[in-house]
């Protein structure tokens, strides 16, 4: 948690018209909001202090409202907020919306588990921030500055990745290996949503992993490549099965042997050998 994040308590008098009075100083009573929860951010509103003799302030136009879309199967409502990223409004309403409308049901179909119903609504907020994107439950927040430069690149794919997190509906609690939690969204993104981008397949490995100490647990694209390899060679349902176990809390490393006949490390070694042969210069 950023130590510089504070809660601001400000008492506003009930009388909202007329003058507040004459002040020389404003005293802010501040304290740290949150130390434990990475997503315990506080929303700030704006406080304007205006000189009584200042020229009249022109009223700001109201920020664009949320807009909502329904997935192609009618089962999920997605709200997208571009109030802090007006430049992305049109892109969000057209390209992003149509990708999510089509793909959310596909993601849900691929990641079922007993007794589980995927979220029937979630929200995406686009705004300037430090990271690329994160998902906390049914709230996705993505960096509008980064997206703006990626409109013809990674923008939509990165939000397909986040939509998978919404469907996974679990975090990084104990026993859930992070490489698998992140490998699954990248597998769906790079091998199903946009295989033509070659973002995690052998083309990508050849370009990016020349001298890489390759491990199947390297997460994201590397783990996605491993999952694709296991799915093709051993069990096409491996991602569905592993995701269900992660969601149910029954994941354990022995499951790899159960589904493929080989331990995770045996699979990892075999995969690495194939990939190394592929990416080493002939």
Contact residues for Zn ion (CB under 5 A)? 182
CA atoms within 13 A on the CB side of 82: 18
Per DSSP, 191 falls in state: I
Characterize 90-120 residue by residue with b for buried, 16 or more Cβ atoms within 10 angstroms of its Cβ, and e for exposed. Answer: ebbeeebbebbbebbbbbbebbebeeeebbe
**Cα–Cα distance for residue pair 188/80, rounded to 1 Å:** 22
Q: Rounded to the nearest whole angstrom, what is the least distance from the CB of residue 186 to Zn ion in the complex?
A: 8
State how far the alpha carbon of 173 is from the alpha carbons of 132, 187, 227, 247, in Å.
22, 21, 21, 10
CB of 220 to Zn ion, least distance (A): 8
Q: Return the number of the residue (33 or 217) whose C-beta is nearest Zn ion.
A: 217
Minimum distance from residue 134 beta carbon to Zn ion (Å): 8
Q: Select the residue whose beta carbon is closest to Zn ion and give its number.
A: 182
| C-beta of 154 vs 182, nearer to Zn ion | 182
Which 8-state DSSP code applies to residue 24? S
- Cβ proximity to Zn ion: between 243 and 279 the closer is 243
CA 76/CA 120 separation, integer angstroms: 4
> Residue 182 or residue 228: which is nearer to Zn ion going by CB?
182
Nearer to Zn ion, 163 or 279 (CB): 163
Burial tier of 183 (Cβ tally within 10 Å: 0-12, 13-18, 19+): buried
CA distance 237 to 36: 36
Closest contact distance (angstroms) between CB of 182 and Zn ion is 5
Q: CB of 216 within 8 A of CB of 222?
A: yes
Closest distance between Zn ion and the C-beta of residue 185, in Å?
5
Residue with Cβ nearer Zn ion (110 or 206): 110
Angstrom CA distances, 164 to 11, 73, 140, stand at 41, 17, 11
**Minimum distance from CB of 141 to Zn ion (Å)?**
12
């Amino acid at each position: 948690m950023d130590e510089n994040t504070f809660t601001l308590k400000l008492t506003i008098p009930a009388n909202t018209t007329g003058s507040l009075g004459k002040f020389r100083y404003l005293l802010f009573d501040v304290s740290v909001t949150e130390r434990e929860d990475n997503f315990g951010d506080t929303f700030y509103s704006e406080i304007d202090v205006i000189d009584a003799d200042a020229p009249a302030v022109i009223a700001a136009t109201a920020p664009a409202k949320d807009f909502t879309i329904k997935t192609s199967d009618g089962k999920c409502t997605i709200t997208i907020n571009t109030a802090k990223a007006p430049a992305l409004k049109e892109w969000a309403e057209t390209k992003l919306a149509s990708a999510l409308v089509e793909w959310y049901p596909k993601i849900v179909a691929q990641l079922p588990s007993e007794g589980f119903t995927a979220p029937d609504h979630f929200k995406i907020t686009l705004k300037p921030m430090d990271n690329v994107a994160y998902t906390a439950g049914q709230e996705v927040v993505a960096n509008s500055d980064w997206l703006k430069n990626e409109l013809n690149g990674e923008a939509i794919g990165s939000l397909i990745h986040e939509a998978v997190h919404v469907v996974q509906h679990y975090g990084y609690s104990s026993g859930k290996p992070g490489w698998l939690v992140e490998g699954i969204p990248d597998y769906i993104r790079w091998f199903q949503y946009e295989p033509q981008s070659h973002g995690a397949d052998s083309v990508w490995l050849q370009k990016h992993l020349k001298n890489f100490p390759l491990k199947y647990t390297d997460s994201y694209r590397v783990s996605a490549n491993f999952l694709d390899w296991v799915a093709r060679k051993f069990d096409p349902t491996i991602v569905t099965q592993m995701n269900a176990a992660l969601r149910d809390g029954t994941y354990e490393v022995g499951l790899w042997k159960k589904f493929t006949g080989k331990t995770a490390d045996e699979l990892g070694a075999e995969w690495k050998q194939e990939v190394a042969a592929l990416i080493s210069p002939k």
